[in-house]
Amino acid sequence: MTTPASSAIRIDPATGQKSFATRAAPASDRIVGKGYSVPTEASLTTLPEPPPGAVFNAEEQAKYRAFKEARRGAADYMAMEGEFARYLDDVYSAPPVPREALADECEIVVVGAGLAGLLLWHKLRGAGFSDVRFCEKGGDVGGTWYWNRYPGIACDVEAYSYLPLLEEMEYIPSMKFASGFEILEYCQRMAEKFGFYERCVFHTTVLETVWDEASGRWTVITDRGDRMRARFVILANGILTSPKLARIEGMSTFRGNSFHTSRWDYRVDLTGKVVGIIGTGATAVQVIPEIARVVKELYVFQRTPSSIDVRDQRATTEEEYKSWPNEPGWARARRARFAKISNGRTAIQGNDDYLAGRVPDFKERKQYERELSMEELIEKQLDTNFRIMEQVRARVDAIVKDPRTAAALKPYYPWGCKRPTFHDEFLPTFNLPHVHLVDTAPRGVQRINENGVVHDGVEYALDVLIYATGFEWMATSTFNMIRGRDGRTLREKWATDGTKTFLGLHSAGFPNLFIVSGPQGGGGSFNFTDAIDAHADYIVWMLETMRSRGARVVDVRPEPELEYAEHCRQADVATAALRDCLSYYNGHGEAEPGSLAYYGGNRWHKYRREAQESLAPYLFD
């Protein structure tokens, strides 16, 4: 029996509305660019044609290799601990609401209140599972969109396909690439509408989750002194949740203000300041055009350039606002079409026609005289990717006026190997006289001192230093604290035996535990909410199956787990040429094949379907 976490909830006596007093703190209007400007110049919104005859020949391959090898070992990241722990402070919420520790029992505890948590709740509730509690480290829902509030933040999968449950919510995003602020508000609306706030304890970090064989329950221990017991635990703790810092000599000596982009500190006014930003990944690409509007000088410290594709941002049209509500299932159909785009260049023009169902495909399909082998297909894909990168590089030359800056901004690695980015204002920003690219290739920034950044003997004195150094990928500390049947943590199991899961959702020896979007978890495309959707559906199916069988405990057999892990390894190895660079996707070249993301495509669904039909992989008790 669950006692409501009532002492954690503040109830407004006037309206009766429940909340945790931790809603989004207002951000300064001066600096909050919503990334909503819509460029109209064709040169910014179209990619130049690739040079005629561009092929990925031996010379180009050698260039890519040299680019990669020069950077090997340069990615040295550190956790935000000790004196750097302050970079993790929740700068968005009021202090935690005092509450009593919880020592009760519920059927399901979910870790995380991001889009995965919200979607899970919607589906669990719909299937009649109501005894569910969510634990969330932050002060509100949203996850990624709660923590990341930097100027210019927007999704880079189109919002009409990215945001789940648009029909149920009767909501249409205002822009094709909706601002993170709009997405956060959308999450809050979902939470209100589905009664999520009553189910979630915020400012509550799960520290340890321990399986008790005798009672068939997990004990969930949190930093608020809770010791809840639960039959099931679902990890919905995200894939890009733990921010990381590049390890740079002298970091702690800097006297100015500094913060990480995932905890944007709006108390620091950047207007008229000399600002440095370290990193040029997906976040920095969105931030830089926005802060360039207000700062006095901006120094961008780049080790490896991103590929900057066309974004072609646009507002939702009047026509769409009018017609979509009259087309039942419009968003679901669009998401399904989006999931079929396998080459990932989501921003290319023409997709709107395909996504809206006006044309049957997003590209012309080539017909080959015979079926091509996997190697041949990969070779063709590498050539295609090379031509895309040639276009991306030509775009840099077409936009950036200073030839040295343009040269430094050109990426040399297979398209999609590092996270592809999309923006129409990033490159023009480097034509502004007060914006300076400091090329720190190939090893990165050398030193930080009390005044700012020192590189190649030059000191860049700064008022504010911003770390846009990204996140750990698929490596949240959460896996460190799940103790299964034999007392080992999930991390210990994977470190000793290699990463082993079934469908990315179960791991043998960890009964009644489900992992959403973890290592080896397929089921979706680049649209992460697609995978989350598939995982949530699977979990609900499993809970219903157990309910109908009267089963209390589910684990997976070691053999199917081994087979699935081997499939993940092989899929990773077979497609490795497409990711021949150093990237967080492959643990900067250090990850064991098959231990992180899933590269087996639709075969995840095949494994899932077969398992659901036969139930052979499962041990029910």
Ligand X SMILES: Cc1cc2nc3c(=O)[nH]c(=O)nc-3n(C[C@H](O)[C@H](O)[C@H](O)COP(=O)(O)OP(=O)(O)OC[C@H]3O[C@@H](n4cnc5c(N)ncnc54)[C@H](O)[C@@H]3O)c2cc1C
Which residues of this protein are in contact with ligand X, per CB under 6 A? 111-117, 135-138, 143-144, 146, 148, 155-157, 162, 205-206, 236-241, 283, 471, 476, 478, 516-517, 527-529, 532
Q: What is the Cα–Cα distance from 490 to 515, expressed in whole angstroms?
A: 11
Scan for tokens 């949740």, then name that residue.
241
Q: What is the Cα–Cα distance from 530 to 532, expressed in whole angstroms?
A: 5
Q: At what angle do helices 180-193 and 115-126 cross, to 10 degrees?
A: 20
**Shortest distance in whole angstroms from residue 531 CB to ligand X:** 8
Q: Is the CB of 208 or the CB of 439 nearer to ligand X?
A: 208
CA 222 to chain centroid: 24
Q: What is the Cα–Cα distance from 234 to 301, expressed in whole angstroms?
A: 39
SS3 state at 209: strand
HSE value, Cβ hemisphere, 13 Å, CA-based, for 195: 10
Pair 431, 403: CB distance under 8 Å: no
Q: Is the CB of 175 or the CB of 516 nearer to ligand X?
A: 516
Q: Which residues lie closer than 8 Å to 95 by C-beta, 6 or more apart?
A: none
**Shortest distance in whole angstroms from residue 455 CB to ligand X:** 26
HSE value, Cβ hemisphere, 13 Å, CA-based, for 255: 3
SS3 state at 410: coil
**Shortest distance in whole angstroms from residue 527 CB to ligand X:** 5
Q: Is the CB of 110 or the CB of 454 nearer to ligand X?
A: 110
SS3 state at 232: strand
Closest CA to 323 of 332, 335, 315, 331: 331
Q: What is the Cα–Cα distance from 586 to 123, expressed in whole angstroms?
A: 32
Q: Is the CB of 462 or the CB of 515 nearer to ligand X?
A: 515
**Shortest distance in whole angstroms from residue 155 CB to ligand X:** 3
- Start-end of H helices in 194-268: none
**Shortest distance in whole angstroms from residue 469 CB to ligand X:** 12
Q: Is the CB of 64 or the CB of 426 nearer to ligand X?
A: 426
Q: Which amino acid is it at 90?
A: D
**Shortest distance in whole angstroms from residue 340 CB to ligand X:** 15
Q: What is the Cα–Cα distance from 405 to 426, expressed in whole angstroms?
A: 13
Q: What is the Cα–Cα distance from 158 to 364, expressed in whole angstroms?
A: 22
Structure tokens given for 602 = 């639709």
Q: Is the CB of 237 or the CB of 258 nearer to ligand X?
A: 237
CA 601 to chain centroid: 18
Q: Is the CB of 45 or the CB of 205 nearer to ligand X?
A: 205
**Shortest distance in whole angstroms from residue 314 CB to ligand X:** 16
- Angle among Cα 214, 227, 544 to the nearest 5 degrees reads 60
Q: What is the Cα–Cα distance from 452 to 299, expressed in whole angstroms?
A: 11
Q: What is the Cα–Cα distance from 398 to 308, expressed in whole angstroms?
A: 13
Q: Is the CB of 118 or the CB of 542 nearer to ligand X?
A: 118
**Shortest distance in whole angstroms from residue 107 CB to ligand X:** 18
Q: What is the Cα–Cα distance from 198 to 8, expressed in whole angstroms?
A: 10
**Shortest distance in whole angstroms from residue 516 CB to ligand X:** 6
Structure tokens given for 118 = 């919200």
Closest CA to 90 of 137, 135, 33: 137
Q: What is the Cα–Cα distance from 412 to 234, expressed in whole angstroms?
A: 40
**Shortest distance in whole angstroms from residue 168 CB to ligand X:** 18
Q: Is the CB of 274 or the CB of 539 nearer to ligand X?
A: 539
Pair 473, 198: CB distance under 8 Å: no
Q: Is the CB of 92 or the CB of 607 nearer to ligand X?
A: 92
Q: Is the CB of 237 or the CB of 595 nearer to ligand X?
A: 237
Q: What is the Cα–Cα distance from 210 to 214, expressed in whole angstroms?
A: 12
**Shortest distance in whole angstroms from residue 373 CB to ligand X:** 31
**Shortest distance in whole angstroms from residue 175 CB to ligand X:** 12
Q: Is the CB of 143 or the CB of 509 nearer to ligand X?
A: 143
**Shortest distance in whole angstroms from residue 206 CB to ligand X:** 4
**Shortest distance in whole angstroms from residue 137 CB to ligand X:** 4
Neighbours of 267 (CB within 10 A): 10
Q: Is the CB of 137 or the CB of 263 nearer to ligand X?
A: 137
Please, what's the b/e burial string for 347-370 (b: 16 or more CB within 10 A of its CB; e: otherwise)?
Answer: bbeebbebbbeeeeebeeeeeeee
Q: Is the CB of 206 or the CB of 490 nearer to ligand X?
A: 206
